[in-house]
Amino acid sequence: QKEVEQDPGPLSVPEGAIVSLNCTYSNSAFQYFMWYRQYSRKGPELLMYTYSSGNKEDGRFTAQVDKSSKYISLFIRDSQPSDSATYLCAGGTSYGKLTFGQGTILTVHP
Amino acid sequence: IAGITQAPTSQILAAGRRMTLRCTQDMRHNAMYWYRQDLGLGLRLIHYSNTAGTTGKGEVPDGYSVSRANTDDFPLTLASAVPSQTSVYFCASSGGDGRNEQFFGPGTRLTVL
């Protein structure tokens, strides 16, 4: 079993929809979590960084962490075609190393 | 412009050849990382360095070596390339000392024939 499981999709939604991206993890040592966005043939770009259970909001993006159920989510409100990308979740330990999910491919169509 | 640069952008390499992928950051970050990204497998850590002069093995280190002579540079060497090392390679860095956000370079696309 992978330490971080992520549904690869692909996920296709109409413009303006609310998108929910989810990951589960098994490593209880994870102390913080990140979401990255990766456009085709580009490097991953950090979107959200959360350190504890709860919600963190940044513009149209909300990251949610539930450590009791080992579940992390990213919500995108009012999705735009420019949000079309692969979204990667990751968990990190106190040693600074990240473990990534395999990524979810999202397409937002006009 | 602050960030991470990687070279080359892409490379086709014959099996058995030696290859060094270069990574340079100008953010004065203590920690640096090398990942490979393969379809269906996501990003996997190859090697890392928490500070200049130290290195460590990640999840998939076999066939790769790294060095960290200074803060800015973290080259990845394939001593004798094999086709299974065909992948996209990403270098990343983080501040260290509790600053955990990792920032990624643009990647090197390597094909070993």
Confidence of residue A83 (pLDDT cuts 50, 70, 90): very high
Question: Residues B105, B94, A107, CA angle at the centre, nearest 5°?
Answer: 50
Question: DSSP assignment of A47-74, as one string?
Answer: EEEE-SSEEEEETTEEEEEETTTTEEEE
pLDDT at A94: 74
State the Cα–Cα distance between residues A15 and A40, nearest whole angstrom.
Answer: 19
By C-alpha distance, which of A78, A80, A76 is closest to A108?
Answer: A80
Say whether A88 and B43 touch across the interface (CB within 8 A): yes
pLDDT at A24: 96
pLDDT at B40: 82
Tell whether B100 lies on the interface with A, counting CB pairs under 8 A. Answer: yes
Say whether B42 and A103 touch across the interface (CB within 8 A): yes
Mean pLDDT, residues A59-63:
97
Contacts of A49 in chain B (CB under 8 A): 100-101
Mean pLDDT, residues A28-40:
94
Q: Within 10 A of B111 (CB to CB), how many other CB atoms are there?
A: 13
Q: Which stretches of chain B drop beneath a pLDDT of 50?
A: none
Tell whether B90 lies on the interface with A, counting CB pairs under 8 A. Answer: yes
Q: Tokens standing for B57?
A: 């093995």
Cβ B84 vs Cβ B64: under 8 Å = no
Question: Which is more confidently placed, B1 or A82?
Answer: A82
Confidence of residue A97 (pLDDT cuts 50, 70, 90): confident
pLDDT at B1: 58
Q: Which residue has the tokens 């990213």?
A: A74
Q: Tokens standing for B108?
A: 């090197």
Contacts of A99 in chain B (CB under 8 A): 45
